[in-house]
Amino acid sequence: MSSEVINSEHPVKLVLLGGPAVGKSTFANNIHSKFFRETYYPTHKSTILLFEYKPRTKRAKSILDEYGGLEAKKLINQQNDLQLSPTIFQSYNKNHVSLKKRRNSSSSNANSQGKANKSLVKNDYYSYDFPNNDNSIEGQYQEPNYSPILIELIDTPPFKPDLVVPFLEVSLYRNLDKEDLHNLANEPRRPVSTNPLLVASGASEMNGNVNGYIFMYSAVPSFNPPSYDDVLSPSTSRNSSITTDSNQLNTVTSQEDPLSLLDIIRGAIIDAWREYRNYQKKWKKGSEGDVYSLIYGIKQLWKLKSYEEEQLKLAELRKISNRLDEIDIDPSSPDSPPPILIVCTHSKHEGKSPKLIEDGKKLANNWKSSFILVENEINENVDESISLMIREIVERQKLQKIKKKLGK
């Protein structure tokens, strides 16, 4: 199998999001450097990890196999700790290629090319082939060999709804004044800093190149402690809120309900991508001649000769609609936001809550996302989590290409 990285120019960009003490940094360290840190240290700023990923476990390799069919699907679902999204689940029925046919094809390709290994399958992110094993049992699934996959993993600080700006057109590495943030900073004597979930341009890791989001929460309720603000003034904290264009989301402490926090994060992400898609459409439309009309018009106000002319011009500019178009969240839509994977950590802890686990699965069903249980201490299902995310991205890309082709 070739050791060449297929996606060297476009790494798979994944973002870890969740509340405090859910294991984001430990998860990142496990997959990046196989390092486990027992002492909890809160993450204060985003950390970027760039590395080559190769699936190690049999199940992680099976997840990445696009044409494994029912054989691979059976291996993946042997345990009740993983739940496939509809996008991945449906792919097993239409992409099935028999194990015997794939082996014969791989062998004939190798012979015709005069090479020991000839990649049978290749997508935009990785390639893989199948070992020629004459002693293998017919009908028994045999996982492929994979090329390395370049991944950019972003570990973020604990999510705080009252300090998050869903979308910024341009990233700014400085604290913004209350006059700049308007209603986002109503409380006096409180430091205001921007933590955008999505940035259209500028030097920011949270940009439109993000391929997927990994939402993490703990199966142990006590691992989700309240913040200092919650302890000192619980009534004030529980009444705080984040307002988006689509709806108003009341914040709750992660101790009360960690899944509510995930719901808030998802709402903020959808709003961010809705604004971003509208921004892209306006920019594209403006490239045809009108993108700078508003800015240009405002700059020309100083040239007007009278107060009446100025007022007329301002009234004309205010007629421009600020209403945002809704975003299509269908996986087959090119405008849909990146996929989400729900990861429930501390799956082997004696204090885990079965109800929290089941509620996480239900939430994944509602969002049409994948779900997986992870135990960071023994590095269980960490590999599978990354494979699930990559497979979701690959399958969505296929659906979007088909829809785009049909739309022409």
pLDDT for 39 equals: 60
pLDDT of 201 over the 80 cut: no
pLDDT of 80 over the 80 cut: yes
pLDDT for 315 equals: 64
Top pLDDT among 191 and 252 is at 191
pLDDT for 322 equals: 61
pLDDT of 119 over the 50 cut: no
Cβ atoms within 10 A of the Cβ of 113, count?
A: 10
Q: How confident is the model at residue 28 (pLDDT cuts 50, 70, 90)?
A: very high
Q: Name residue 246's amino acid.
A: S
Measured in whole angstroms, how far is the alpha carbon of residue 220 from the centre of its chain?
23
Top pLDDT among 166 and 271 is at 271
Q: Are 386 and 374 in contact (CB under 8 A)?
A: no
pLDDT of 178 over the 90 cut: no
Mean pLDDT, the chain, rounded, equals: 77
Using a cut of 0.85, tell me whether the model's pTM lies above it: no
For the chain, give the percent of residues with pLDDT over 70. Answer: 63
pLDDT of 69 over the 70 cut: yes
- The full set of domains in the chain, from first to last, is 1-275+340-408 (3.40.50.300)
- The three-state DSSP-derived secondary structure of the chain is CCCCCCCCCCCEEEEEEECCCCCHHHHHHHHHCCCCCCCCCCCCCCEEEEEEECCCCHHHHHHHCCCCHHHHHHHHCCCCCEECCHHHHHHHHHCCCCHHHHHHHHHHHHHHHCCCCCCCEECCCCEEECCCCCCCCCCCCCCCEECCEEEEEEECCCCCHHHEEEEEEECCCCCCCHHHHHHHHCCCCCCCCCEEEEEEECCCCCECCCCEEEEEEECCHHHCCCCHHHHHCHHHHHCCEEECCCCEEECCCCCCCHHHHHHHHHHHHHHHHHHHHHHHHHHHHHHHHHCCHHHHHHHCHHHCCCHHHHHHHHHHHHCCCCCCCCCCCCCCCCCCCCCEEEEEECCCCCCCCHHHHHHHHHHHHHHCCEEEECEHHHCECHHHHHHHHHHHHHHHHHHHHHHHHHHC
pLDDT for 117 equals: 47
Residue from 270, 320, 1, 311 nearest 129 by CA: 1
Lowest mean pLDDT among 231-235, 311-315, 338-342: 231-235
pLDDT for 2 equals: 61
pLDDT of 140 over the 60 cut: yes
If you average pLDDT over residues 366-374, what whole number do you get? 97
pLDDT of 34 over the 70 cut: no
Top pLDDT among 323 and 252 is at 323
Top pLDDT among 137 and 14 is at 14
Q: How confident is the model at residue 111 (pLDDT cuts 50, 70, 90)?
A: very low
